Structures are given as structure tokens and as C-alpha cells.
Amino acid sequence: MNCFVIFSNLRFQLITMSKNTRYFISFALLSFSLNADSLTLNGTVTTTDGEPVSEAVITLVGTLKTKPILATSPRKMDQRHREFVSHILAAHVGESVLFPNSDNIQHHIYSFSPANSFEIQLYKDVAPKPITFDKAGVVVLGCNIHDWMVGYVYVTDAPYFTQTDEKGAWSLNLPADDYTLTLWHPNLDTPNNVLVQQIKLTAEKSAPIEQKITLKSTSRTGKPPAEDAQNPAYQ
Amino acid sequence: MKKEIRLTVFIYTIFFTHTLFADDFHSIQLHGEADFRYLHTDSDSQNNSDFSKFAEGGANRDLFRVSEAALTLQGRIDWSWTGSIIAKYGHNAKNPIDISEATLFFKPVSTSPWRVNARLGSFFAPISLENTSVAWTSPYTLTSSAINSWVGEELKTFGGEGTVAYHFENGDHVDIFGAGFGNNDTTGTLLAFRGWRMHDYEATILDDFQLPNQAHIQSIFKKQAMTTQPFVEVDGRAGYYTGFNLERPDVLKFRALYYDNMANPKIVEKGQYGWHTRFGSAGLKIALPFELTFIEQSMIGQTQMGGFVGNHTAVDVDFWAHSFLLSKKITEGHRFSVRYDIFGTHKNDEILQNPNENKGNAWTLNYNWLFLKHHQLNFEVTTTTSNVTARTMQNINSTQDETLWQMGYRVFF
């Protein structure tokens, strides 16, 4: 039996302080459907003017002591056109990440984040060893050759996580439970760049949610400097 | 004109050869740029031999030329060491092709917030916040600011520079740097004898500049040659600079520096005096809303040459300049920039026959269009009003207005 419920009505504004150049994200849980033993929870993350926010990380921790199911093969974060692609990658504690190099130049990526510090030299066509992340936290990545490059690995011990797609949408299959939902994006203008809220997920009861939060007006893009577009070193 | 044609063919041969190998994974990279320019000016400039604020004019009010061409060879020695050599053709250079910069960089990776890096060789002191592109070109204007024009002429150092930086997790970093250098003993000569000037010419290692021949310099300083060599060592004493940098990448950069070449002003060797030049420099670059970039640079200093005459050295000049640039990215590849420069020198010495008073301001407007990734068209006008006391020795009014129109086509590879 499937039950499809549209959330509506419940809205609250988390952060109302606004600056001229700040943006807003609206974060809306749209619907869930009931399967035999799990519910499918969907959501979207968009700015108030409708722009989708991609790569935001959604984690959910319930009251049930559920162990995360680790990926059997390493996750991937590529180096392409002198950028980290993707810009943000989420992983469970204990999972590994591969850093292939699709550029025709070397990269030398590193992190000095307390969660996991490492450095790895990346040649083209030489498969690097995957890096295992064994502590929860945000791992900020840089490239020692291309200073503008920045990427993030969000390592979580939550049993469930996902990331928003290009349309700002996400989806998770979950058992009914009381959850702590955390939205993380490096540009969220909140302490630790997170937005946390409680969700009661049941087959019968709907809890329509829409959140609006502030993004930092200034943040690192991880892209080559725009004014130096003619510089071959940045292409 | 044959020279221009030969140079153009040479530049494009390198450009297309480079393109053929562009997809190879190589640890040695060849980059470069060439700059073709049409210039029109009402200036009476006689190159470096007078007190004009531009290097063009006089008998050549309309010029078409290859303004400069540069080749940059970058090599990676290992994961921490790289080397870079920039060779330039400059329309005004003493040698047709000469080395502009030759530098060895040491930049080890760090997995802690602390980082160190160093460079060794011939490089510009870290003053300009505008000249960030290939071979010290600017993405904003053709003509450099008054400060950066002088940096290009006389402020290349030959030595070593070390930096210690602390990085925060959000990307902010604080850097403290210092350098020891030689071959900068004549720095200040052009500012004192000629004054500030606006151009985009960077001196190469073996370059020299003619001094204003109306200034009767040799009648006062008989050992001074009529050319100044910007990169020579006169007294065997090293100079230094030290400073700090605060940066939030993509957003804000503030840099301050104190420079002292420690030159002995009483020593003259082969026509080149030591000029004791020291200054403070500060620069701020901010990314603003609406794709705007603001850059401010300031410099205040003093230069002294010769023995004491009365209470001052024979030449004793204070100098100062400020520039304010606002640039807007209009759409992808299109950029409009406007810059205001204000500058001056003040004479402290007591030799009346050598008037070194100089002040002025300038507006520069530039529109550039980057197309097909490698090509850029520039349209620019710079207009300046200046008062130079020494112009009276040319029997012209000490206050002059000058305007320079430029169309530039640059190819980058």
C-alpha cells in the first residue's frame, strides 16, 4: 500500500536578519510515500527566488540505533578544469574517497582539517590510492599548485545522508521515526554552516516544512579568478 | 615594419606550436602573450628624455607597433620546487630579447595550518595588486598605474624572499614575508630626475633608461651617466623589504610592505650612483557586489643621492602616489575598468639647478573583450594633468595636459 501525502502550511523563518547582498535558501520537504517497511522522504533546497542549491548535504539521525550501510566501492571527487568536481562530497565515517585527475596537469591536494589531514600527489592517468576518512567532520581540501581550488568532504556518522541534485532535490528511504535533520552547506551563514531541525516521520501524520536560511554573501567559489580569465594558468 | 612582421610570424609560430602540444601532460609548460598596439597621443614626449607623463608622443603621435611579446617557461622540478623564466621583447628595450624574471619557487605542501614558501632569483617586489596575469600584464588596463609603472621600471629585485603563513579552515590566511636583495641600488633615479610616469613597460634585466637631457644632470653630477641602469649593485650592501598580507580568497586582500634598498648614496660606480630609497606601500583589493572589483594602492617614500650639500644630500626627494581602480565584469569576457591616479614628488635638497618638484593626476578608462579564450581586444584612454617644475627648462609651461588613446590586441597562450 502506498500513501502519498503533500506537506503544506507549516512555515517558519529561521533567520530573518538579512543583509543587502545575502541570499536565501528555502528548504522544503515536499512529500513522502509509504512502502511496506520504509517511507520515502523527499525534499528540495532552493533560494527564495527559486534558484536550486546543489550539493547541499542532508543527514538524518533517528532514535533507532541504525548502523550506516557503507559503500562497497570508494566514492569519487574528480579534478577537472582546475576545480574539484564535485565541489562538495558527503561520505560515511570509514568510507574511502578516490581523487582521480581528469586534467592534463598535476594536482597536489591536501587538507589540514582536524577531521582528516592528508596530502596526495595526483598525476594524470595514474590511479591514486583512495583516502579513508575515519573521523566525522568537515574536511576542507585545497591544491598546493592551484591556490584557488577548494573542495569539501563532509564526513558523517549519521546512518542516513544524501545530497541535493542540480535541481536542489533530494530523496531518502527511511523507517518511520523521530529524526534530527541536518542541512549542511559551506556557505550557510549559521554557526558551523548547519541548519538542524526535528522531524517526526510517520505514515499518517504529515509535517510540511519550509525553511529559509541565509547564505554568506561572500564565499570561496573554488573557481579560477574571473578577472584573470585570459591567464592560461587558470584555464 | 619588417621587424614587426617578422616578430608577428614568430609569435604565431610559437602560439600554434604550443596549441599542438597543449593536451600533453607535461611538467614543463610554455605560456606567453603578445601585444599589438595602436596609439594616438597629443603628448610631446620624447621617450624618456623629457618630463612627459607618457612614453609616446612628440614626432610619433600615431604609432602601430608590437608593444611587447613574452614567453614564460615554467618547469616543475618536483612537488615542492618549480622554476620560471620570462623572456620579453619590449618595444623600448635595450636588447631585442632579454630576461624579465627568472625565479625558483619553493612551496612545500602542508597538512597543518602553518605554511612556508620562498622564491629565489629575479622577481618584482610584491606591490602591484593589478599586474596578476601572464608576464606581469594586468587584466584591467593596458596602462599601469603610476605606482606600478615605477615598479615595472625600477623595483625588480634580485635575491630571496621567504613567507610564513597561517591558514584558517575557511580559507583566510595571514602571511608575513621578508626579502633580502641586491642589484637595486639605483632605484629612485627615475622618480627623482624625471618624476612619475604612466606606461606598461617593464624593464628587463640588462635594460637601461635615458634620463631627461633637459635637466642638465651631468652639469651638476659629473659622474652620473645619461642613462640609468635599474638593476645594478653599486655599494655591495644588500637591501630588504618586509611586510604582511591578509587575504580572504576571492573576497579581500590587504598587503603592506616596507622597502629599503640600504644603498650608500655617496658611492658612484660606472656612472651609477647609489640611491638610498625607502618607502611604505599598501594595497587593498575587494570583491564587491554586482561583479565589481575595487583596488587601491598607496606608496609614500623618500630617495637620497650624493653627499651632503647643506643640510641634505645632493638629491633628496619625497615621493608619494595613490591609485583607485574600479572594475566591472559586464558579461562573460567583457570588462570595464576606471582608475584614478594621483602622484607627486617633493624636493628637500638645496640644489636649485635641479628642480625635482612634480605632481599630477590621471584618469584611465578601459574596456576589454576576451574572446575565443586566448584573444583580447582593449580600448583605452588615459588623460593626465601634471605640473613638473623642470619643464620650465624646456621653455614650456610647467603644467601640461596629455591624453593617450590606445587600441590593443593581445593574444595569450
Q: What would the pLDDT profile of B21-54 be if each residue is shown by its tens digit?
A: 544 445 678 888 999 999 999 887 776 678 889 9
Cell of A89: 562530497
Please report the pLDDT score of residue B28 as a whole number.
Answer: 77
pLDDT band at B201 (very low <50, low <70, confident <90, very high): very high
Most confident range, picked from A152-156, A175-179, B78-82: A152-156
CB-CB under 8 Å, A108 with B109: yes
pLDDT > 60? residue B386: yes
- Residue numbers in B near A235 (CB within 8 A): 373
Which residues, other chains included, contact A193 with Cβ-Cβ below 8 Å and sequence gap of 6+? A138, A184, A185, A186, A187
The arithmetic mean of pLDDT across residues A120-128, rounded, is 79
pLDDT over 70 for what percent of chain A?
74
Domain annotation for chain B: domains and CATH numbers = 2-412 (2.40.160.10)
Sign (positive or negative) of CA dihedral B211, B216, B219, B220: negative
> What number is the average pLDDT over the span A112-132?
86
Joined together, the cell numbers standing for residue B153 give 621600471
Do A129 and A87 contact (CB within 8 A), yes or no? no
B168 vs chain A: nearest CA distance in angstroms? 9
Which residues, in sequence order, are bridge partners of residue B302? B278, B318
Element (H, E) at B14: helix B2-20
Residue B13, SS3?
helix
Pairing of strands B28-41, B399-412: antiparallel
- Please tell me which of the candidates A105, A110, A225 has its beta carbon nearest to residue B109: A110
User: How many beta-carbon contacts under 8 Å exist across A and B?
Assistant: 100
Whole-angstrom distance, CA of residue A31 vs CA of residue A28: 9
pLDDT score of A85: 93
Asked whether the predicted pLDDT for residue A10 surpasses 50, the reply is no
| pLDDT tens digits, one per residue of B227-245 | 999 999 999 999 999 999 9
Are A150 and B107 within 8 A, CB to CB? no
Would you list the domain boundaries of chain A? 4-55+166-215, 75-156
What is the C-alpha to C-alpha distance for residues B71 and B94, in angstroms, rounded to an integer? 18
Identity of the residue in A106, A220, A231 whose CB atom sits nearest the CB atom of B171:
A220
- Cα–Cα dist A118/B348, whole Å: 57
Cβ–Cβ < 8 Å for B408, B380: yes
Residue count of chain A: 235
Whole-number pLDDT of residue B195: 94
pLDDT value at B311 more than 70: yes
What mean pLDDT is predicted for residues A184-204? Answer: 87
Cell numbers linked to A182:
541536518
- The one-letter code for the residue type at B345 is T
Per CATH, the homologous superfamily of domain A75-156 is Cupredoxins -  blue copper proteins (2.60.40.420)
Centre a 10 Å sphere on the Cβ of residue A16 and count the other Cβ atoms it contains: 7
Q: Which residues of A touch B79 (CB under 8 A)?
A: 106, 108, 121, 144
Confirm whether the ipTM is greater than 0.95: no
C-alpha dist (Å) from residue B140 to A204, B82, B126, B198: 61, 28, 18, 15
Q: Residue B11 is inside which H or E element, if any?
A: helix B2-20
Decide if B18 touches A, using CB distance below 8 A: no
pLDDT at site A32 = 44
Task: Answer whether B293 touches A (CB < 8 Å).
Answer: yes
Distances (CA, A) of B58 to A43, B40, B49, B149, B395: 70, 11, 11, 20, 15
Beta strand pairing status for A137-143 and A107-111? antiparallel
